Amino acid sequence: MTEIAHKNAFVTGAASGIGLALTKALVARGAHVMMADMNAEGLAAARAEVGEAHTESVVCDVSDAGSVQNAAQATIDAFGKVHLLFNNAGVSLAGRPGQIDLRDWQWITDINLMGVVHGVETFLPLIAAHDEGGHIVNTASMAGHVTAPGMGPYFATKFAVTGYSEALRIELKKSGIGVSCLCPTWVKSNIHNTSDNSPAAEVHREKFKQSDAYKAVRSLVENGMSPDVYAELCMKAIEANRLHVFNDPEARQALIDRHEANLADYDACLADLDL
């Protein structure tokens, strides 16, 4: 079981959405939180909303290893040590295969995957150093388990985060450091607009925002689960040292369907080998 009270946490993407909700839930349980985000203005407003008694803030670009290292030093300077790491910052990107600018591929990979890697590689030694245990939380998505048309780069990065989290869980099992992977479907946030900041956004933005796919996703996100409700679910999962944190009963069947499809292919291959 992971204790949260009186622990020190680092949360990326803390200016809004799930990151802000996680910060509120941590503070409510008695933790101190370093709120990190690359949006300085939004970060200041979010910290004012949460309150400054149990929080500090630092501007951080998770795609930049040096920026994450500077944020880690700021966390140590503020709190002395860190126990809980939340690699939450992320972006979305839509597009069809063969039509996606490679600059956008690099952009989403640098944030969604390498942002998590930078967090783990920077903070894990700091968590391990004090020998008081801790917990790493990586934000993936249900898109880290099942796929659909139109968002290949997003699915690719989220599958990577899920696999990485599962590997970390095995690696750290005996260390006293837990690992959880957040796998929500629709939670109210600004995730559907984050591709506005991609390198090739000027090429596709207006056309994409007029598409039926964007309008459907926007509706699902805007009518999704409250981030505060999901953050509370996350706290319970962390305390119970649970790996995956799901939230949508309607998505459960998709996991079953994928599992059965994989087994069907597996058995067919074995049959071809006469095994």
10 closest CA partner among 82, 118, 59: 82
Is-catalytic flag, 154? Answer: yes
10 closest CA partner among 79, 63, 65: 79
Centroid of chain to Cα 241: 17
Q: Which of 154, 164, 214, 230 is catalytic?
A: 154
74 closest CA partner among 126, 137, 114, 4: 126
User: Token match 């009518």: residue?
Assistant: 223
Centroid of chain to Cα 246: 13
Using DSSP bridges, classify how beta strands 55-59 and 177-182 pair: parallel, antiparallel or unpaired.
unpaired
Query: Cα–Cα distances in Å, from 254 out to 62, 160, 258?
Result: 31, 18, 6
Among positive and negative, which fits the CA dihedral 236, 115, 37, 70? positive
Tokens of 96: 């069809």
User: Token match 């069907």: residue?
Assistant: 264
Query: Cα–Cα distances in Å, from 139 out to 78, 93, 159, 198?
Result: 25, 16, 11, 20
Rg (CA), the chain: 19
Active site residues: 154
